[in-house]
Amino acid sequence: MAKTPKTYHVKSFGCQMNVYDGERMSELMAEQGLSAAASAEEADLVVLNTCHIREKATEKVYSDIGRLRKGGRKPMIAVAGCVAQAEGEEIVRRAQVDVVVGPQAYHNLPKLVADAAGGKAALDTDMPLASKFGALPARRRVAPGAFLTVQEGCDKFCTYCVVPYTRGAEVSRPFAAIVDEARALVDAGAREITLLGQNVNAWADEDGRGLDALIRDLDRIEGLARIRYTTSHPNDMTQRLIDAHRDVEKLMPYLHLPVQSGNDRVLKAMNRSHSRDSYLRILDRVREARPDIALSGDFIVGFPGETDAEFEDTLRLVDEVRYSQAFSFKYSPRPGTPAAEMDGAVPRGVMDERLQRLQAALNRDQAAFNEATVGKTCDVLIERRGKHPGQMLGKSPWLQSVHLATDAQIGDMVTVDIERAGPNSLAGVERVKAAA
Ligand code: SAH
Ligand code: SF4
Ligand code: F3S
pLDDT in tens, 248-279: 999 999 999 999 999 999 999 999 999 999 99
Q: State the Cα–Cα distance between residues 89 and 85, nearest whole angstrom.
A: 9
Among the listed residues 277, 314, 313, the one whose alpha carbon sits nearest the alpha carbon of residue 297: 314
SS3 312: helix
Q: Distance between the two ends of the chain, CA-based, in angstroms?
A: 65
Query: What confidence score (pLDDT) does residue 312 get?
Result: 98
- How many angstroms does the Cα of residue 163 sit away from the middle of ligand 1? 8
What is residue 153's predicted lDDT score, i.e. its pLDDT?
94
| Candidate of 259, 329, 331, 341 to mutate for ligand 1, largest count of ligand atoms within 8 Å of Cβ | 329
Ligand 1, residue 333: give the atom nearest the CA: 22
Residue 264, judged by CB atoms within 10 A of its CB (0-12, 13-18, 19+), counts as: middle
Q: pLDDT category, 436, cuts 50, 70, 90?
A: low
Ligand whose nearest atom lies closest to the CA of 82: 3
Give the whole-angstrom CA distance, residue 400 versus residue 240. 26
From ligand 2's centre to the CA of 197, what distance in Å? Answer: 11
Reported as a single tens digit per residue, the pLDDT across 80-91 is 999 999 999 999
Count, residues in the chain: 436
Q: Which residues contact 317 (CB under 8 A, 6 or more apart)?
A: 259, 262, 276, 279, 280
Exposure letters 288-309 (e unless 16+ CB within 10 A, then b): ebbeebbbbbebbbbbbebeee
How many CB atoms within 10 Å of residue 10? 27
Nearest ligand, measured from the Cα of 157: 2
110 lines ligand 2 (CB under 6 A): no
Residue 157 CA to ligand 3 center (angstroms) comes to 14
| Confidence at residue 128, expressed as pLDDT on a 0 to 100 scale | 85
Which domains, ranges and CATH numbers included, belong to the chain?
Answer: 7-124 (3.40.50.12160), 138-252 (3.30.750.210), 254-373 (3.30.750.200), 377-430 (2.40.50.140)
Please tell me whether 161 is known to bind a ligand. yes
